[in-house]
Amino acid sequence: MDLVSFQLNEDVIWIYRRGNEKVWDIEPNNTISNIVENQKNDSLITKKIKDLTWKPDGKCFAVVSTNGLIELFDTMNGTLIRSVQLNLNVSCLKWFKKRVNINVNKKSGVSGLLDDINIINSLPLLKFNTNNTIIGERSNYKETFENESVLDFIIVGSYNGSLGCVFSGIFVVENLTLSDIFQDSEILDIMPTSSLSNHYVLLKTYPTNDLSLLKLNTEFISIDKEFTKILLICSKLLNLIDYMQTSINQINSHYKPYFDYTIRIIELLRGEIREEEDEVEQKEEEEKEEEGGVKEGNENNSENINDSNNADPIYDLYDLLLTGSLSNATKKWLTDYLSDRGIKRWTKLGRTYFDSARSSIYNDLISSLHHMIIFLTDLKGLSQWTSNDISSLFILDIDECIKISQNYLKYSYKFMMELNDSQRYFEQTIVWLSSVLTELTTDEKLNVSFKTNDITKFLMFVSSKLNAVDNGNKENNIHDASKINDFKKILDISLNVLFEKIKNDIKSKFKLDKHSLISKSLAENNINQINMEIFNELNKGFIYLLYEDSSIQIKEFRLSDLEIITHNITRADNIKKNIVDLKILEYNKILTLYEDCVVIYKVLFENEAILSQFKYVLDEHIGEKDYNFQAAYLGVNNTNKTFCVLDKTKKKYIWLSY
């Protein structure tokens, strides 16, 4: 889409399309609560944006805050997909993606179920909207469920020398400790080889401010196909859990107005009953006073008041149902409060809830449970491989997880049947009340049949809800689907056992291979900027150090053993101004930004010099109204051979090709 993103201030990110069209204006910290409570001094601390990284395919981008909150946004519409909280003091993050071959060799017929049978295509389809996200859920992409050969993950660096990973935007692994000797280090950058078999971490160690380079062995990502598949399945399982929770929340969202209206309208009847009882008590009191029985009347009045406080509207309705006896309170309630309009409103809310709940249970929960059982069965097959790398899965009883999900599936069906009964009870009650109201308002007796037993069950249901509200337990008793929610929590606990074991495996696989000292005491050397790139075809990496006096030093290192060669580069040009920003285009080509121009330099390593290849004079690309343009930031897209120069005010930019 030719998009450029930049951070306007501590809280706002602007994204523009080439041609100066603003696409999104995003305040990530405001998408969910952006304030946390400081328990020490009771003050409020605002989260600040730390970094932004794009997914390699450009479909979304991740914004990370200083407190470890990662928010994923959809590139097409700028909406929040998911929020992930890491317990890290974040210093940087990078997003990587790899297509992997996960068709493992079959051994003794115990491979994953999905390798043997193409059963996933026969399962009920999960519901997605046009943006490829699950309906009603800020979830991961549709490809998370369908694509079996793509593994993407975000690596997050911290100020305490540890890493965090987010696989497929949802499966979080934290506290990947590099080494005890680097626990007081700020991670500046992370770059992998193309195979992702090694990651190179650039960090600054405190308090010495030394710059060091670490090589991490991450071969399991490229070699261990079974484990890669396990990571993909875990991501799918977590997405399914989110999906199920969203479905339950959707049921709750439709139930709440139906429940609130039901309680409110019945409470109005209770008020009418109390008012009628008060009138009777007042009349009796006046009669007794006339007869001189004031004291006795007061005692009786006290008892009657106590009775009126316990006025039961359900009793009045039940009495009307059985005997046809209609009190003045119920009559007034039917004609003045409920009325034909109120019945229609009640009916609409009820049907919305019942239809939505039935749809969510059948289309969402049951469908997702089918997928979950298949994924768990697939993990069971993988766990039987005679591989030391996944040995921890042997001690996990995945059969128990499958059993729980099967029970959940059964309960979903059971709950749907209960919904059908509840809807019948409700609609029979509506038919009955409508007929009574019609007879009161038109003096016409309708020949309508209804099932007394169904109405009785509905009245008993409402009575239990009223008692729950009276006892202050509204939240705990509001929803019939709460049992499904509780069942999901049990499922979560069992799956978390599985996830923790896999996370421990991942932590053991991130191994520190080698480390080298790049530079001592960065503060004394006055280094303004550090850039690192990996070039697999050369089996080398390059670290460009930009100093305050605009001199450039290059640290060339071999990927295999981190042997470092230092190049003190001499600039062969007449530009006297300072370099504002610098980006690496190729191993021997850099793009530098000055206040008034952009220069592409070619590096001559044998001569330790850089030569100007091309110069872009910014004045030639700036309109008359932008004559005060002050270049300050540089963004590069190596794939499209384009770069963007941003003004110091962050309100103007120039887009150029090279």
Q: Just give the CATH number of 1-85.
A: 2.40.10.480
Pairing of strands 609-617, 564-572: parallel
Helix %, strand %, coil % for the chain, to 5?
A: 45, 30, 25
CA gap 325, 642 in Å, rounded: 83
CA angle, residues 74, 78, 37, in degrees to nearest 5: 95
DSSP character at residue 642? E
Chain segment 321-354, per-residue pLDDT in tens: 999 888 899 999 999 999 999 999 999 999 999 9
Q: Average pLDDT for consecutive 10-residue bins of the chain (658 residues)? A: 75 77 73 39 56 86 88 86 88 84 49 53 60 37 51 90 90 86 90 91 90 91 79 86 86 90 92 84 78 53 44 90 90 92 95 92 85 81 57 61 81 87 95 92 80 94 84 56 76 84 86 89 81 94 92 94 93 84 93 91 92 87 71 86 86 84
User: What pLDDT, on the 0 to 100 scale, is given for residue 149?
Assistant: 65
Give 383-441 as a DSSP string.
HTS--GGGGGGGGS-HHHHHHHHHHHHHHHHHHHHHHHHHHHHHHHHHHHHHHHHHHHH
Pairing of strands 540-547, 527-535: antiparallel
**Cα dihedral 398→399→402→406 (10° resolution):** -160
Tokens, residue 359: 């749809």
User: What pLDDT, on the 0 to 100 scale, is given for residue 444?
Assistant: 76
CA gap 355, 306 in Å, rounded: 42
3-state secondary structure (DSSP) of residue 52:
strand
User: What pLDDT, on the 0 to 100 scale, is given for residue 315?
Assistant: 92
Place of tokens 């469908």: 367
